[in-house]
C-alpha cells in the first residue's frame, strides 16, 4: 500500500501518515501526538469486493501493524461521515483496540434519510453503534493535542472535519489542489452548503495542512496519489476555487460536473454497513448477513 508521512511541525502538531487504498481511491490516516504516542485512526477502510459481496480486514490490519511498529497507542477511531464509496472499519477497529469510535452527530439525520431509502424503519441505531456523536465546535484531546470538530456539510448533510493543531482532516470537501473539490449530489448533499464548508476550511491559518479523503491518479503529469496541501496552496491554486470564485459560479460548476458522475459501485452496500459503524446487517436464521439493495431508486 502506498503510504506517506507528514512530520509534526512543533508542539501541538500531529505526525500524520496516510495510507492509500487503490481500490476506492481513499486515504486512511493515522494522526499521532509525538509527545505521548496517542493516535487516532481516521476513515479506515473495511475492504469489500462488490462482485462476491465479501469483506476483508487487510487494509485495517496494515494500519494496525504500522501503529504497533511505531509503538503508538490507539486512543480514537474516527470517521468523518458515513462513506458512500467504501465501508468503514470502525467497529472492527474498536474491537481490536478497545478505543472508542466516533462520528458527527448529524449522522442521526443521515440514518433517518437512508431508513427511508432502504425501507428499514427500525434500522441504524447510531447511538448504540458509535461511542461519540460529535457536535459542531466540540473539542477533545488526543494526547496533548486539542482536536476541534467542524461541521462541514455539502458532500453529506453531516460530514465533519477534525482540526488537530496545524492539521485538518477535511474528508470529501477538497480534493488535491490539481483536482478541485468533491461531489455534492448524494442524498442530503448540497453544492451551496459545500461551498460554505470549503470557505470555512479556507479560513483556517494559511499553514494548516489539509488532508483530503480521496485521490484518483493519474492527474496531469502526476502518477502517484497525493493528499496533502496547505490552506494557502488551496486558496491560490485549487482547480475549482483558486483565486476566488463566487457561490453562484461554484455551484454551477459543481452541479454540472456532478450530473456527469455515476454512483460509486459500493454505495448501496456501504451505507447500510457504515450506518452501523461498519457492521454487516444482522444475520438471518441461517447465520448469513444479507444486503438490501433498492431497485430503480437512483
> How confident is the chain (298 residues) per 10-residue block, as mean pLDDT?
96 97 97 98 97 97 98 98 97 98 98 97 97 98 98 97 98 96 96 98 98 95 96 96 93 97 95 98 97 94
Cβ-count burial 214-224 (b if 16+ within 10 Å, e if not): bbebebeeeee
Return the half-sphere exposure (C-beta side, CA atoms, 13 A cut-off) of residue 102. 21
pTM: 0.97
Among candidate residues 89, 101, 82, the one with its CA nearest the CA of residue 275: 82
Residue 126's SS3 state is: helix
Q: How much is the pLDDT for 96? A: 98
Distance CA 166, CA 149 (A): 14
Query: What dihedral angle (degrees, nearest 10) is formed by the CA atoms of 241, 243, 248, 249?
Result: -80
Q: How much is the pLDDT for 281? A: 97
The burial class, CB within 10 Å (0-12 / 13-18 / 19+), for 192 is: middle
Q: How much is the pLDDT for 242? A: 85
Provide DSSP, 208-257.
PEEEESB--S-BTTB-S---EEEHHHHHHH-TTTTT---HHHHHHHHHHH
Distance CA 208, CA 220 (A): 25
Which residues are CB-neighbours of 234 under 8 A, at least 6 positions away? 174, 177, 202, 210, 241, 242
Distance CA 264, CA 153 (A): 19
DSSP 174: B
Which residues are CB-neighbours of 146 under 8 A, at least 6 positions away? 12, 139, 140, 164, 165
Residue 191's SS3 state is: helix
Domains defined for the chain, CATH in brackets: 2-270 (3.60.15.10)
CA distances from residue 288 to 36, 74, 91, 120, 282 in whole angstroms, order as listed: 42, 31, 18, 18, 8
For the chain, how big is the Rg over CA atoms in Å?
18
Cis ω on the peptide bond leading into residue 15 (within 30° of 0)? no
CA distances from residue 228 to 25, 43, 208, 267 in whole angstroms, order as listed: 14, 15, 10, 25
Q: How much is the pLDDT for 243? A: 84
Grid coordinates given for 65:
501493524
Amino acid at each position: 500500500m502506498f503510504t506517506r508521512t507528514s512530520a509534526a511541525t512543533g508542539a501541538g502538531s500531529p505526525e500524520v501518515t496516510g495510507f492509500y487504498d487503490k481500490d476506492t481511491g481513499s486515504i486512511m490516516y493515522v494522526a499521532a501526538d509525538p509527545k505521548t504516542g496517542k493516535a487516532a485512526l481516521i476513515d479506515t477502510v473495511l475492504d469489500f469486493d462488490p462482485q462476491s459481496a465479501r469483506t476483508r480486514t487487510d487494509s485495517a490490519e496494515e494500519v494496525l501493524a504500522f501503529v504497533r511498529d511505531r509503538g503508538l497507542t490507539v486512543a480514537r477511531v474516527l470517521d468523518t461521515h458515513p462513506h458512500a464509496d467504501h465501508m468503514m472499519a470502525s467497529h472492527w477497529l474498536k474491537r481490536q483496540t478497545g478505543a472508542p469510535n466516533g462520528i458527527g452527530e448529524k449522522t442521526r439525520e443521515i440514518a433517518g434519510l437512508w431508513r427511508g431509502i432502504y425501507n428499514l424503519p427500525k434500522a441504524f441505531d447510531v447511538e448504540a453503534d458509535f461511542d461519540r456523536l460529535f457536535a459542531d465546535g466540540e473539542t477533545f484531546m488526543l494526547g496533548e493535542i486539542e482536536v476541534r470538530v467542524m461541521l462541514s456539510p455539502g458532500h453529506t448533510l453531516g460530514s465533519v472535519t477534525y482540526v488537530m493543531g496545524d492539521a485538518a482532516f477535511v474528508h470529501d470537501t477538497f480534493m488535491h489542489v490539481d483536482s478541485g473539490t468533491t461531489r455534492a449530489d448524494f442524498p442530503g448533499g448540497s453544492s451551496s452548503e459545500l461551498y460554505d464548508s470549503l470557505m470555512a476550511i479556507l479560513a483556517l491559518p494559511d499553514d494548516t495542512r489539509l488532508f483530503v479523503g480521496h485521490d484518483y491518479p493519474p492527474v496531469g503529469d502526476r502518477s502517484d496519489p497525493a493528499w496533502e496541501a496547505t490552506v494557502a496552496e488551496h486558496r491560490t491554486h485549487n482547480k475549482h476555487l483558486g483565486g476566488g470564485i463566487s457561490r453562484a459560479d461554484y455551484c454551477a460548476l459543481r452541479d454540472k460536473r456532478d450530473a456527469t458522475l455515476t454512483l460509486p459501485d459500493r454505495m448501496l452496500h456501504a451505507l447500510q454497513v457504515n450506518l452501523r459503524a461498519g457492521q454487516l446487517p444482522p444475520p438471518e436464521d441461517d447465520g448469513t448477513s444479507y444486503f438490501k439493495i433498492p431497485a430503480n431508486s437512483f
